[in-house]
Structure 1
Amino acid sequence: MTAREGQEELEAQFRQWRQYVQRRRELQPSDADELEDHLRGSVDELVAVGLSADEAFLVAVKRMGSLDELSREFAREHSERLWKQLVLTGEAGSPAADTRSRRDLWAMVICAAGAAASIKVPELFGLRLADDGAFYARNFTLFALPWLAVFLAWRRQARRPLIGTLVALFGLGAVAANAYPLAEESKSLVLTSIHLPIALWLVVGLAYVADDWRSSRRRMDFIRFTGEWFIYFVLIALGGGVLSLFLFHTFNAIGIIPQEFISQWLLPCGAVAGAVVAGWLVEAKQSVVENIAPVLTRLFTPLFTAALLAFLVAVVWTSHGINVEREALILFDLLLVVVLGLLLYSISARDPLAPTGLFDKLQLALVVSALAIDVLVLLAITGRITDEYGTTPNRAAALGENVILLANLAYSAWLLLRFIRRRTPFAALERWQTGYLPVYAVWAWTVVLLFPPLFSYV
C-alpha cells in the first residue's frame, strides 16, 4: 500500500468515526470538530513514535473509547477488523517502529550523556559543586533542560527557526544566571534560582509543541507531559537515592568511603541525566492507553480540598494572619501551584462530553478555597509593603505571582461554575488554562532579567 492509499484509508476511517459521533443529537457540529481534532492529534502523536496509520488509529480510538459510550461502540465494531489487518500484514512491531524506537533510545543516551558531562565542565574552570553552591544553584537547570529540549526537538524534527529560538532563549537564560553580580546571600539569587527553571521549562515546551505552538490541544499535551515527566523524574530520583545508600554502605563495609564519588559524580550527573531519561520515558509510553492523570486527580483533589478548607477554618477560628517571610511565601505559592496542577490534570483527563457530577463540584470547592487563601496572602503582602517594612525582591515577586494566580484561579472558578450550571462548554476551561501559560513565562523572565538590577542585586 502506497503512502497516498494509506492516507486515503485513514481518512475513510475518520469519516466512519465521525458518522458515529454525529448520531448524538445533542452534539453540535463544533463538538464533533473538537472530538475529531483530539482524535487526529492522538493519531499524529502515535505515528510520530513509529506506529503505522492503522495501529495509531486503533490505539487512538481505544483512547476515545474511554470518553463516551458512542466511541466505545465504534471501537468494538472496528477494532477487531483493525487488529486482523495488523496481524495479517505484520505491521505490529514492524521494523520501521523498531528502528524508530532504537533511534529514540540512542538519542536519549547521547543527550543524557551530554547533560551528565556538561555539569562537570565548570570544574575545568575551578568551579566545584562543594565550594561554589551559588553558581550551581542558579545554573543547575541549564545543564539539564537544554539537552531535554534537544531530544524533543530532534523527535519533532524541529525547523531551523524554532531551533534558533531555543538556542537564543537558553542563551538568554545563561546570561541572566551569570551576568549579574549576585552574592551567595543575595535575595535576587534565590529568586533567579526559583524562576529561571520555570522560564526554561516553558522553553522546553516550545520544543515539545514544535511548530504547532498556537494549538490549544498541543499546549494541553505539554501540560500532560509536564506532570508525567515530574512523576518519572521523582521515581528516578528515588531509585538514585536507594542506589546511593546501597553504594555507600556496601563499600563502607570494606573500608572504602565513596562519599566524594556519590556527592560529586553520581548524584549531580544522575540528576541532570535523569531529566532527559524521564522525558524519553514519557515519549516512549505514548502508545500505552492508560493514563495516570485520572487516578492522581481523583485521589488528591478531595485531600487537598479538605486541607485547604481546614486551614481557612483555622484562620477564622484563631484570627491569626499569614506569615509573609520568604519560607512561608514559597510554601503558599507552592500550595497554590499544586492546586493549579490538580485542576490542569483533571481538565486533561476529563471527558468533555460527560455530564457534571460531584467531582466537578469538589473541584470548584478546591479552586474557591485556593482563591480565598490567595486573597489572604495578597492582603498580608500588601500590608507588609505599605507598612514600615517596605518592598523587598521576595515580596515583590510573591505579590506579582499571587496576582497572576489570583486572575487564573478566579476566572477558572467562574468557568467551572458556569460549566456546572450547564452554561459554558468544558472546552472553554481548557482553552483558558492553556492560553494562560504565556503569562507565567513572561513573569518568570521578568523576575530573572529585571528584578536583580531593579533591586540593586540585593
Structure 2
Amino acid sequence: MTVTNEPDELEGQFAQWRDYVRRRPELAASDADELEDHLRNSVDELTAIGLRSDEAFLVAVKRMGGLDELSREFAREHSERLWKQLMFTGDPVKASPQRRDLAAMLVCAAGAAVSVKAPELFGQRYEGEGTFYDTNLALFALPWLAAFLAWRRRASIKVYGVLAALFVLGAVGANVYPVGDESQSVALTASHLPIALWLVVGIAYIADDLRSSRRRMDFIRFSGEWFVYFVLIALGGGVLIAFLGGTFEAIGRYPETLIWQWVVPCGATAAVVVAGWLVEAKQGVIENIAPVLTRLFTPLFAVALLAFLVAVGWNGSGIEVDRDTLVMFDLLLAVVLGLLLYSMSARDPLAPRGTFDFLQLALVASALIIDALVLYTMTGRIAEYGTTPNNVAALGENIVLLVNLAWSAWLLLGFVRRRRAFAVIERWQTAYLPVYAVWMWAVVLLLPPIFHYR
C-alpha cells in the first residue's frame, strides 16, 4: 500500500474536497474557504499527534460530518442569506452565475413563446382544425429547455449536434407521415413523442458526464421536481386567467382571443423552460419536493393496489380490458415507477433497510402482478380481434414496464434480505432509461408505416 504523506498528494486531496464542496449551491465561496480552513486546522492537529497525513485527512473529513448535513446546517443558520439568494439580490458588482442563468432562461423562454406562435405565419392556427399542434406541441418548448440545460452544462459541440439531430428526427416523425385526423397514429405520436423528447432533454441535462449513473439519477430527480414546479406555475396561470377574464368582463368585455390564442400557448411553452430553471436555481437550497411526495403516496398506493388484488381474487373475475382501461393501467404503472424512482433519488444508498423499503417492495410486487394480469387479458383480446396501432403500443409499454418492475422487485427483495446493496437497484433503473427511449421512438417512427398510417 502506497503511503500518501507527501505534501503534493495531501494538497491534491484538499483540491478534490474543495471542488466537491463548491458544487453545493448552499455554500458561498467564503463558506467553502472557512470550511477548508477548519479542515486544514484539524489535519494539522491530527498530524501533530502522530497520524500520517492521509489518515489525518480522512479522520478530519469524517469529523466534519456529511456534506448534506453541513448544507442543512448552513440552510438553518443562514436562512436570511439563502432567502436573499432565492430572490436574486446578490452582489451586483460580481458577475453572478445566477444572473447569467436568469438571462439565459429568459432568452430560451421567450424563444419557446415565439416558437409556438410562429406556425401561424404559415397558416397553422393554435386550436384550429387539424393535427399540427397535437403532434408538434412538445417541439416548441423542449428544444429550448434542452438548449438552456446544455448551455448551463457547457456541453460540447458534439452534444449540441446530437440534440439537434434528435429534435429534427422528432419533427420528421410528427410531420412527414401522411396520417389523417382520425388516424390512431396521431394520438400515439401526440402521447409518445413528448416522452421521447423529454429523454432527449436528459442528454442535455447530463451533458457534463454522459456515462455517469449518478447523473442519470439526478435527471430522474430533476424530472420530478420539474413536474411539481410546472404544475404550480400552471395553477398560478389559471388564477391569472380567471382574474384577467373577470376584470374585463366587469366592463362588458371578455378577452377570449388574448387569453386562448396568446396567454395560454405562450405561457405554457415558456413555463416549461421556467420550471427547469427553477429546479436548477433552487436545488439544494430548499428541500426537494418530489421525493417528499413519494414518501406520502407510496404507502397509499401500496394499500390501494393490494386492496385491488384482494378484490380480484375475491370476485374470481378477470380484468375487463378496453382502450380506456389500458390507458388507466399504463398510467398507474407509470405512477408506481415514478414513486419508486423518486424515492430512490432521495435515498442515501448507504443507509440500512427500513420499513419504507418493505413498502416499496409491496408496491412494486403488487404492480407487477396487476401488469401480468393486464398483459394476459390483452394478449387474448389481440389474438381474438387482431392488432391495431393502439393495442400494439399498449402491449409494448406493458412489456417494457413488466421487465423493469420484475427485476426491480427481485433486486428490492435481495436488498431487504441484506443480500444486495441498494446501489445495484439504482444502477438498474438508470441503465434501463434507454429502453424507454427506444420504445417511444419506435412508436413514433415505426408503428405508423407498419400499420399503413391508419
TM-score (norm 2): 0.84
Q: In 2, Cα distance between the equivalents of 1:310 and 1:348?
A: 27
Residue 102 of structure 1 aligns with which residue? Answer: 99
Residue 52 of structure 1 aligns with which residue? Answer: 29
1:280 aligns to 2:277 (yes or no): yes
Residue 382 of structure 1 aligns with which residue? Answer: 379
Q: Is the 8 A contact 1:51 1:97 kept in 2?
A: no
Q: Is the 8 A contact 1:10 1:53 kept in 2?
A: no
Q: Is the 8 A contact 1:188 1:457 kept in 2?
A: yes
Residue 430 of structure 1 aligns with which residue? Answer: 426
Instruction: After TM superposition, give the deviation of residue 349 of structure 1 in Å.
Output: 1.0
Counterparts in 2 of 1:456 and 1:233: CA distance versus 1, 3 Å? same
Instruction: After TM superposition, give the deviation of residue 115 of structure 1 in Å.
Output: 0.3
What SS is found at the alignment partner of 1:345? Answer: helix
1:201-350 counterparts in 2 under 5 A?
201-288=198-285, 290-350=287-347
Counterparts in 2 of 1:200 and 1:333: CA distance versus 1, 3 Å? same
Q: Is the 8 A contact 1:336 1:370 kept in 2?
A: yes
1:12-91 counterparts in 2 under 5 A?
12=14, 43=21, 45-46=23-24, 51-52=28-29, 55=32, 73-75=63-65
Moved more, 230-239 or 183-192: 183-192
Q: In 1, Cα distance between the equivalents of 2:145 and 2:271?
A: 10
1:11 aligns to 2:13 (yes or no): yes
Gaps (5+ residues) in structure 2? 1-6, 37-59
State the 4+ residue runs in structure 1 displaced beyond 3 angstroms: 7-11, 42-47, 49-59, 70-73, 75-80, 92-98
CA shift digits 1:87-143 (9 cap, x unpaired):
9xx9x9566875211111111111001100000011111111222352101100000
Residue 397 of structure 1 aligns with which residue? Answer: 393
Counterparts in 2 of 1:44 and 1:394: CA distance versus 1, 3 Å? farther
* Rg larger in structure: 2
Q: In 2, Cα distance between the equivalents of 1:57 and 1:331?
A: 54
1:167 aligns to 2:169 (yes or no): no
Instruction: After TM superposition, give the deviation of residue 186 of structure 1 in Å.
Output: 1.0
Amino acid in the other structure paired with 1:75: G
Q: Is the 8 A contact 2:344 2:426 kept in 1?
A: yes
Residue 135 of structure 1 aligns with which residue? Answer: 132
Instruction: After TM superposition, give the deviation of residue 456 of structure 1 in Å.
Output: 0.7
Counterparts in 2 of 1:53 and 1:138: CA distance versus 1, 3 Å? farther
Counterparts in 2 of 1:276 and 1:10: CA distance versus 1, 3 Å? farther
Residue 26 of structure 1 aligns with which residue? Answer: none
Q: In 2, Cα distance between the equivalents of 1:50 and 1:160?
A: 31
Q: Is the 8 A contact 1:50 1:96 kept in 2?
A: no
Q: In 2, Cα distance between the equivalents of 1:303 and 1:142?
A: 35
Q: In 2, Cα distance between the equivalents of 1:130 and 1:240?
A: 19
What SS is found at the alignment partner of 1:351? Answer: coil
Q: In 1, Cα distance between the equivalents of 2:16 and 2:234?
A: 42
Counterparts in 2 of 1:305 and 1:117: CA distance versus 1, 3 Å? same
Residue 417 of structure 1 aligns with which residue? Answer: 413
Amino acid in the other structure paired with 1:119: V
1:185 aligns to 2:162 (yes or no): no
Q: In 1, Cα distance between the equivalents of 2:128 and 2:34?
A: 54
Moved more, 406-415 or 348-357: 348-357
Instruction: After TM superposition, give the deviation of residue 250 of structure 1 in Å.
Output: 1.3
Counterparts in 2 of 1:211 and 1:14: CA distance versus 1, 3 Å? closer
Q: In 2, Cα distance between the equivalents of 1:286 and 1:57?
A: 22
CA shift digits 1:324-373 (9 cap, x unpaired):
32222111111101100100111111122222121111110000000011
Amino acid in the other structure paired with 1:152: L
Q: In 1, Cα distance between the equivalents of 2:117 and 2:295?
A: 42
Residue 57 of structure 2 aligns with which residue? Answer: none
Amino acid in the other structure paired with 2:14: A
Counterparts in 2 of 1:58 and 1:379: CA distance versus 1, 3 Å? farther
Counting matched residue pairs gives: 410
Q: In 1, Cα distance between the equivalents of 2:340 and 2:140?
A: 30
